[in-house]
Chains A and B, each alone.
Chain A
Amino acid sequence: MNIFRLTGDLAHLIAIIILLHKIWKSRSCAGISGKSQVLFALVYTTRYLDLVTSYVSIYNTFMKFVFLATSYATIYLIYVKFKATYDHNHDTFRIEFLILPSLALALLINHYFNFLEVLWTFSIYLESVAILPQLFMVSKTGEAESITSHYLFALGSYRALYILNWIYRYATEGHYDLIAIVAGVVQTVLYCDFFYLYITKVLKGKKLQLPA
């Protein structure tokens, strides 16, 4: 464990809590893409199946349960509890175009071909594009509430910090995982235009307006 991965996990946890808190407090999921949240739940479910087969540390196990529980709780709030506020018209990204290619790629490019490892690889590829429905929705509505942009900033920062963690681990342990690194770079690049808008606008108190 290193400071980059620790702060990355913290940013990830903060993002999830910001979103859950926002939906719970405002009793509304307006502006939130339920599809991205479904993809995240799928990412954690397929990645954390190893909870039953291997033990890394109490921290690792605890965080996996937290990510699983919060992602399903978020889906419950969006699709059940506050489904009247779910914005169907703007949350229209075809997620099958993200799931199927990720699965196909995981079957082709993986570290070794067995059930858990292919699912882990699938979750890595899917996570790199899971935010697209949310970014697509923000671009369709042309704006995002500031709290949603804080959520996106924290979520984007988590994988950017993981890149620093991978550099650190390669430098100190000689350990690297090319699949996670390439997907992580793609994932972070997808946030770049958002990061630019966030830093130039939201931090100056303006609303996040995306060129529609």
Chain B
Amino acid sequence: FSNMELHDEL
């Protein structure tokens, strides 16, 4: 899980 991966789901 990359540190910068943002959560794109609600």
Contacts and interface: CB of A to CB of B under 8 A. Distances in A.
Interface residues of B, number: 8
A101 B8 CA distance: 25
B2 to A, nearest CB: 9
Contact of A63 (B1, B5, B6, B10): B10
B7 A162 contact: no
Interface of B: 1, 3, 5-10
Interface residues of A, number: 19
A64 B10 contact: yes
Contacts of A111: 1, 5
13 contacts: A5-B9, A12-B10, A47-B7, A50-B6, A57-B8, A60-B8, A60-B10, A67-B10, A111-B1, A111-B5, A112-B3, A162-B9, A165-B9
A contact face: mostly helix, strand, loop, or mixed:
helix
Contact of B8 (A9, A56, A67, A162): A56
A121 to B, nearest CB: 10
Interface in A56-93: 56-57, 60, 63-64, 67
A56 B6 CA distance: 8
B8 to A, nearest CB: 5
Nearest to B1: A111
A120 interface: yes
Contacts of A26: none
A54 interface: yes
Contact of B10 (A9, A54, A112, A177): A9
Interface string A158-200: 0000100100000000000100100000000000000000000
Nearest to B7: A120
Nearest to A5: B9
A63 B7 CA distance: 14
A165 B8 CA distance: 13
Contacts of A180: 9
Q: Which of B5, B6, B10 has the most CB of A within 10 A?
A: B10
Contacts of B9: 5, 162, 165, 180
Contacts of B6: 50, 54, 56
